[in-house]
Amino acid sequence: MEWTISERFVKPRANGVTMVMDKGLGIQAFEDLLSLAAPYIDFIKLGFGTLALTPEKIASKKIALAKKYNVAIYPGGTFFEIAYLEKKVNPYFQWLQQFGFEWIEISNGVVDYLPDERNLLIRDAIDKKFQVITEIGKKQAGSKTEQHMLIDQFTADRKAGASFVIIEGRETGEDIGIYNKQGEVDITYVKEVLRTIDNSKCIWETPKKGQQVKMIELCGTDVNLGNIAPADILSVESLRQGLRADTLLQKRNPS
């Protein structure tokens, strides 16, 4: 017997995307991940500044494999912030182009940009033929972007040309952004934001299973989820398709 799930969109998906965080997979583990689960992975983020520590030969192989399996790959936004602080944004763009990256993340987890400067950075990256993902939110524990500020920044980033906007949750998913110290979702906050933004262009960082379940409950199975651990990709897709107890009834009785 073969199960076929027809509801999920075929890649490239406009929404319902899943972003996996690679914090240092070896090339064999990377290829194993793609051979097993590439249909369910839309983006792979090379976390933080790990690209700088990865042998160039290995990084190039990862990029080639991602393209082979139709998965977008890009370095974490922290790396962009380092380039910004060192006044090396243009060399950074050139370096990524030489590698063959087509996507780039522009974040403000540590640094601060004036609104006009952030817009210019996004547009400059687009002019360099990158597709841009931005990220909203600080990385300091306890930080939380006010709703109106998140909505305004989301709107400005999209207007500047960002394809997707990530809502910061870090790889811990605790005491930051929409999460309290126990990693629980601030439901009121999320519902308020959802009234205004185009959620199909928002990626919620949800490293924990409970967060993934809650965001599917709030937004539906085609919510965009990020910072998924490689080992959890089939788990997340199972949640989307109602193949786990947590979402089985929601998928089959959406009303």
100 contact partners, CB below 8 Å, separation of at least 6: 60, 63, 64, 67
Interatomic CA distance for residues 124 and 120, integer angstroms = 6
For residue 7, pLDDT beyond 70:
no
190 contact partners, CB below 8 Å, separation of at least 6: 178, 215, 218
Per-residue pLDDT, 210: 96
**pLDDT tens digits, 14-43:** 889 999 999 999 999 999 999 999 999 999
For residue 171, pLDDT beyond 60:
yes
Looking at the DSSP assignment, which residues form a beta bridge with residue 18?
225
For residue 254, pLDDT beyond 70:
no
**pLDDT tens digits, 87-110:** 999 999 999 999 999 999 999 999
Per-residue pLDDT, 176: 85
**pLDDT tens digits, 176-193:** 889 999 989 999 999 999
The rounded mean pLDDT for the chain is 93
CA distances from 208 to 51, 213, 229, 247 (A): 24, 9, 9, 15
Model pTM?
Answer: 0.94
Q: 172 is written with which tokens?
A: 């811990």
For residue 79, pLDDT beyond 80:
yes
What share of the chain has pLDDT > 90, as a percent? 80
For residue 151, pLDDT beyond 90:
yes
Interatomic CA distance for residues 117 and 192, integer angstroms = 28
**pLDDT tens digits, 133-142:** 999 998 888 8
Interatomic CA distance for residues 205 and 182, integer angstroms = 15
Per-residue pLDDT, 14: 86
CA distances from 114 to 111, 118, 231 (A): 10, 6, 38
Per-residue pLDDT, 255: 53
For residue 196, pLDDT beyond 70:
yes
Cα three-residue angle 14-17-48, rounded to 5 degrees: 125
Tell which residue, 82, 192, 78, 81, has the closest CA to residue 144.
Answer: 192
Q: For domain 18-252, give the CATH superfamily.
A: Aldolase class I (3.20.20.70)
Cis check for the bond before 230: say yes or no (omega within 30 of 0).
no
